[in-house]
Amino acid sequence: MAVSSRRRITALVITLAAVALVTLPWALFTSRADLTFGPHEAQYRVTADSRLTVDFGPLGRLLVPTEDVIPLGLGLHVDIGEIPVSGDSGDDERPAADPAEVADPGGGTVDALGGDIASYASLFSAPQAQIDQVIDGLSREILTRWALAVCIITGGLVGLALFLGPTRVDTIIRAFAGKELLGIGLVLVLVLTGLGAVVLNRPKPISADPAFEGTPLAGSQVTGRLGGIIDTAFGAVQDFADDNDAFYDDVLKTLRTQWNDRPISGNWTDRGLVPPAGVGAPAVGSGDGGVGEGRKGVTTFVYGSDIHCNIGMARVVGAVAGMSRADAYIDGGDISMTGTTAENYCLDVLDDELPEKLPRMMVKGNHDSMGTTRHARARGWNVLEDSAAEMAGVRFFGAADPRRTVFGSGPQLETDLTADQYAQRLRDEACAADFDIMLIHDPAVGAPSLRSGCADYALSGHWHRQVGPENFGSGTRYSSSTTGGALANALTPGPLKMNAELSIIRVDNETKRPIDVQTITVTPDKQVQIDPWVRFPEPRPLVGQPPVDEPVGE
């Protein structure tokens, strides 16, 4: 009986190995991943031709050699789909748009072609986010398909064995005893024959297009009608990427030069705080003026909002987070431009630029979508959606903006409440919640919570101009300007068209109240201004009739 059991176990192991070996190539070459390519929806699959094939359908194909990038002679085929414009349509009720934002109902103010060029250029400026997306998506599909095939085939064989019964199974095993190596060899021959057929049928070599010489696509070829326009189209993309990289290289150089000379005095003494070591002079060799992780008495947050897919400014955000030794990064929303799936790339680039282990938190803006926040959560971000969460010792409360602004159709509601109704509901939730700071995209949505005394402090963005820190109602609010330099009626990605701002906020570790804020401004002429620290005023009781709330969206 023991010998029979060992035979069955051996047969099962050999069967599993054989099934896994045979099904792996099948899973590898039949898996499909629906992702994005620049502004397009796209489907990816693995090939065995040592090239990246980007198939634009009737226009032709872009062929890129991948011998130095993808091992084992493998390649990648990308079927390019449409450019998504608006995701879910949401509610038909549409409140008035913010005049500071790019939301022309007729779509005439949006340079759609320029946006597409910016998306393509992002592949050159920050390709790692796209590479990570493809690797993750295809890996999941391949492993899922492989595991499913192994389970189905092995399960079928086990079911057959149970149907036949132990006696017949032992008879079959004995009949094949001593032939295991022959069986394994046969499987290997079949696999190698299949791989050999693939190798023998490899396509002819790529004829490099001279238009790509000296670029990241050197050695590539374009086929079909696409070849007739490649010089102009690729030239526009390459020029955009080069200009963008050069602009932000200069900005980062200026930022690092000015960092150690920035104002570093703090509002410490009257709060009974112990100033961190080195206040008044930068820490030796660190570029840090005494704020950041491990500093006694304060927690430091880098705060951005309304970056609107400006991946160049994402580099600045990451640099400031690193140089300030921030304890966390918080974002007031509008990381993307319209919240389409393709624009998940905007968040990926920002995420990659931030220090690797730095905690991240965000709320949805009206130019993001529910899909944006789902993707952020999958990347490890703490997303506030009518909820409170602690980060770096401070408890934040916040909610998604109820609107979704889509180019060509204006703002649409993603909830069953109007923006004003949503603000009132948020006030009720804030009154029942325990938190230190409210994080909300639109200051007007958070206004009822401040006026009612249910929120002492609120951080926001949306207006594309800095407001505060100032008393409002019985609380204190601070609204950051646009971190992406998002000028109305202009393309945000690329060199700046208006000032871009980023904030560093320090919070008292004992009281959990903001102490002060320092604003970093980047100008279109590549200058960097680091302002003195501005103190947050204490919340105060209302005296007399409170001011009327600003209408939501203005």
In this structure, what DSSP letter does residue 404 have?
E
pLDDT averaged over the chain?
Answer: 74
The Cα 475–Cα 519 span in angstroms is 21
How many CB atoms lie under 10 A from the CB of residue 196? Answer: 10
For the stretch 59-94, pLDDT in tens is 677 777 777 667 777 788 888 777 665 444 333 333
In this structure, what DSSP letter does residue 210 have?
G
Pinpoint the alpha helices (H) of 106-165: 112-125, 127-164
Place of tokens 């670029």: 215
Read off the tokens for 294: 């491990």
What's the topology of domain 299-535?
A: Purple Acid Phosphatase; chain A, domain 2 (3.60.21)
pLDDT of residue 204: 60
Closest CA to 367 of 166, 100, 111, 546: 100
pLDDT of residue 330: 96
Question: How confident is the model over 233-259, as a mean pLDDT?
Answer: 82
Residue 279: pLDDT over 60 = no
pLDDT of residue 284: 33
The Cα 384–Cα 438 span in angstroms is 10
Question: How confident is the model over 253-280, as a mean pLDDT?
Answer: 65
The Cα 16–Cα 34 span in angstroms is 30
Question: How confident is the model over 466-471, as a mean pLDDT?
Answer: 91
Name which residue leads in pLDDT, 446 or 170. Answer: 446
The Cα 303–Cα 461 span in angstroms is 10
Strand pairing category for 382-383 and 360-362: parallel
Q: What are the structural domain ranges in the chain? A: 2-83+112-212, 299-535
For the stretch 156-188, pLDDT in tens is 766 766 666 666 655 655 555 544 544 555 555
The Cα 235–Cα 215 span in angstroms is 10
